Amino acid sequence: MMAGCNSTFRLANPYLSDKETLYHLGISTDDNLQQRFGDVKYICLGGKNKRMENFANLLYRDLGYPENSEVDDASKPKEERKLIDITGSAGRYSMFKVGPVLSANHGIGPASLSVVLHELLKLIHFSHCNDVSFIRIGTSGGLGLEPGTVVITDTAYNGLLQPHHAQVACGKEIHYPSVTNPDLRNGLLKCALTVTKQCVIGNTLSANDFYEEQARLDGAFCSFSEDEKNAFIRRAHDEYGVKNMEMESTCFTAMCLRAGVKCGVICVALVDRLVRDNVTGVKGTGVGTDNKLKEWELLPQVICAKYIKEN
Amino acid sequence: MMAGCNSTFRLANPYLSDKETLYHLGISTDDNLQQRFGDVKYICLGGKNKRMENFANLLYRDLGYPENSEVDDASKPKEERKLIDITGSAGRYSMFKVGPVLSANHGIGPASLSVVLHELLKLIHFSHCNDVSFIRIGTSGGLGLEPGTVVITDTAYNGLLQPHHAQVACGKEIHYPSVTNPDLRNGLLKCALTVTKQCVIGNTLSANDFYEEQARLDGAFCSFSEDEKNAFIRRAHDEYGVKNMEMESTCFTAMCLRAGVKCGVICVALVDRLVRDNVTGVKGTGVGTDNKLKEWELLPQVICAKYIKEN
């Protein structure tokens, strides 16, 4: 199943036919996949559709409006062409192509991520791509970090502090290891350090829930005490090297490893969870004012675009 | 924690303060919640933002353009007012208010659903609402049903065929029962039968994944054989009364039960999983042509709108 550097990417699933519909992406094997997507080398994913549209536009400018992009009207002058959402009317995700890069959103949580990742892996299989890297750019809660710090993931842990993704398949639970590619994470770090000094490699806790699984007290429910919360976050930080918490990286890294594609995760920490739960904080505290949040959210995009440009 | 029929809804979480930010909905306790949302009686949720916007507009017309809706400009003639997306620039979900109804999308999967549900439960808590019903309207794969059949959920099972939602909280797994409200599901059935004859009450398998957990062979990976797939789906159908599969109902019903609000789930089945995996089927089979899919997707909306109008 592993695809070597210069060999065409293949999925090992024996049940794949040569006629398939990528239902949630709104495309199918009838849509000239190899011609349109055969040159893809990077697939960048993030939660929000607007963020990934923004990232695509940023990249489009940075890469000098490459011809092999999916645009509204190729007869217009380059600078006036608009990137189009490839998913059309499917209505689940947004996806843009800029030269050798696909930029797509994955929504919130592992289930939403896994749907689009299954279909993207099928897309590069049917497009006969080779040497594709998957990079997730996201937001997260940091542990013991100044808000605005960039965290590049080493190993992703699930909410039970296990270094795997628990995949239920046909009624049985199977565990898949969840770790990023060493070359990719070191390359991202090197690039990140030219953009910001506040940048670390660390482990990431990836939860199937924003509130209780991440030990937040401020959801609709809370089944634990403040002391239990503090002990859990402290243990994740001290014993497991967890630097941030988000919701997709165990699933993301496990699926990429399983498919034999390189993967990296680069997230900005919007809050220090050793100090508080709420991302925006409270007005007047100076934590997470709207402008700061926007600036921080841009950091992984800028670093990722720079990495792609230089590699 | 249980809220009686005519008493104000309260959450039991002792850590809630009276200043809270509903981060992913883009609103906070500073936004006149009681005045704006105190009259809410129904919260309708579905996966896609466009579907829930469409549902809100359908309801707006059906309820005769009620004044207590969130619109762009209340000085315009009623029919010309446009419903606004309350979540503004938060960029995660869309939400609309039509009279006593909130219509919001929850994205794909339990994690995405749980984030918005936590914040909606906090919203009705801070708005001092009473007697609120939560209804999920969705799409699903049917088991032994003609595509286009409407399924109203009794009990939701997880991907291991257990009738509970497994919630990890602060490093521990806790199981919460996942069943709909009997009055609400019977009321929905009664209403549904006036719209379509193809309608049943049954159990729902709710998976944290679209492909392998739902025993589909056509994902990027497949860790089981076609025989194992068929045996699993057959067992779910024959031994557990599972009539359809989707991705949110265990989490949805468990959280609603836990909060003490009534909940119901009404989904249309787009494919018979005893026959095939792929939702759109293949061109020429007559399964899931675009027009049929749109027609089917509308059924839960029409039934839900009718139920709200008549209750």
Asked whether residue A250 is assigned to any structural domain, the reply reads yes
pLDDT of residue B133 exceeding 80: yes
Per-residue pLDDT of chain A (311 residues), as tens digits, is 444 456 899 999 999 999 999 999 999 999 999 999 999 999 999 999 999 999 999 999 999 999 999 999 999 999 999 999 999 888 899 999 999 999 999 999 999 999 999 999 999 999 999 999 999 999 999 999 999 999 999 999 999 999 999 999 999 999 999 999 999 999 999 999 999 999 999 999 999 999 999 999 999 999 999 999 999 999 999 999 999 999 999 999 999 999 999 999 999 999 999 998 887 643 434 445 678 888 999 999 999 999 999 99
Answer with the one of A108, A131, A154 that is the final residue of a domain.
A131
Q: Are B172 and B104 within one domain?
A: no
Residue B280 is predicted with a pLDDT of 60
Answer with the one of A113, A131, A149 that is the final residue of a domain.
A131
What's the half-sphere exposure (Cβ side, CA atoms, 13 Å) at A76? 11
Q: Are B32 and B180 within one domain?
A: no
Asked whether residue B16 is assigned to any structural domain, the reply reads no
Answer with the one of A75, A105, A131 that is the final residue of a domain.
A131
Helix (H) / strand (E) containing B200: strand B199-206
Whether residue B31 lies within 8 A of chain A, CB to CB, comes out as no
Mutation site, A20, A27, A108, interface B, largest B CB count within 10 A: A108
Question: A134 CB contacts (<8 Å, ≥6 apart)?
Answer: A42, A43, A44, A45, A117, A120, A252, A256, A261, A262, A263, A264
Asked whether residue A204 is assigned to any structural domain, the reply reads yes
Query: Range of B57's domain?
Result: 21-131
Asked whether residue B44 is assigned to any structural domain, the reply reads yes
> Residue A112: which of B14, B21, B108 has the nearest Cβ?
B108
Q: Are A103 and A222 within one domain?
A: no
Q: Which of residues 60-89 of A touch B (CB under 8 A)?
A: none
Asked whether residue B15 is assigned to any structural domain, the reply reads no
Structure tokens at A215: 């030990």
Q: Are A149 and A126 within one domain?
A: no
> With contacts defined as CB-CB under 8 Å, which chain B residues touch A294?
none
Q: Are B307 and B218 within one domain?
A: yes
> Residue A171: which of B112, B173, B232 has the nearest Cβ?
B232
Asked whether residue A50 is assigned to any structural domain, the reply reads yes
Whether residue A48 lies within 8 A of chain B, CB to CB, comes out as yes
Asked whether residue A10 is assigned to any structural domain, the reply reads no
Q: Say what the ipTM of the complex is.
A: 0.94
> With contacts defined as CB-CB under 8 Å, which chain B residues touch A211?
114-115, 118
Helix (H) / strand (E) containing B235: helix B226-240
Name the amino acid, one letter, at A76. Answer: K
Residue of B nearest to A228 (CA): B170
Q: Are A36 and A55 within one domain?
A: yes
Structure tokens at B210: 């679209």
DSSP state of B74: T
> Residue B209: which of A50, A114, A228 has the nearest Cβ?
A114
Structure tokens at B311: 């209750």
Task: Say how many domains are in chain B.
Answer: 2
Q: Are A201 and A306 within one domain?
A: yes
Mutation site, A113, A167, A170, A252, interface B, largest B CB count within 10 A: A170
Asked whether residue B293 is assigned to any structural domain, the reply reads yes
Mean pLDDT within B263-274: 96
Euclidean distance between CA atoms B274 and B254, whole angstroms: 27
Q: Are A119 and A233 within one domain?
A: no
Q: Are B121 and B188 within one domain?
A: no
> With contacts defined as CB-CB under 8 Å, which chain A residues touch B17?
218
- Mean pLDDT computed over every residue of chain B: 94
Q: Are A223 and A163 within one domain?
A: yes
Q: Are B139 and B278 within one domain?
A: yes
This prediction's pTM? 0.95
> With contacts defined as CB-CB under 8 Å, which chain A residues touch B212?
167-170
Euclidean distance between CA atoms A49 and A123, whole angstroms: 19
Q: Are B31 and B139 within one domain?
A: no
CATH number (domain holding residue B92): 3.40.50.1580
